[in-house]
Amino acid sequence: MDILLQATQGARGGGMQMIFMMVAIIAVFYFFMIRPQQKKQKDVQRAREAMKIGDKVVTAGGIHGRIKEIGETWILVEVADGVKLKFEKTSVFASSADVTTT
């Protein structure tokens, strides 16, 4: 009877260790993967909201240009003299003064 009692108590302790390890793994994933990604997405969203006419931008496809017009969900970008392209706001990732246009 003592052997069965010890075996069940040992299993309970091991179960608590397993639960603690799972919680620790989830916490590590959150702080090293999920949280930084959320912060990066917020920074990108703030940068998109701060864009204004005349800013130099780079699209997700690598096209460099200057903003000529901003709509609710789109941006008109001039990529060369007289050449304007319309992009979704979500495809514009960089807005910087040091970006050069071609």
The answer to whether 28 and 21 have CB atoms below 8 angstroms apart is no
Write down the architecture of domain 52-102 according to CATH.
Roll (2.30)
Residue by residue, pLDDT tens for the chain (102 residues) are: 555 455 555 555 578 889 999 999 999 989 899 999 999 999 988 888 888 999 999 998 999 999 999 999 999 999 999 999 999 998 987 665 444 444
The answer to whether 60 and 85 have CB atoms below 8 angstroms apart is no
Residue 16's pLDDT is 86
Residue ranges of domains in the chain = 1-50, 52-102
Give strand pairing partners of 95. Answer: 57
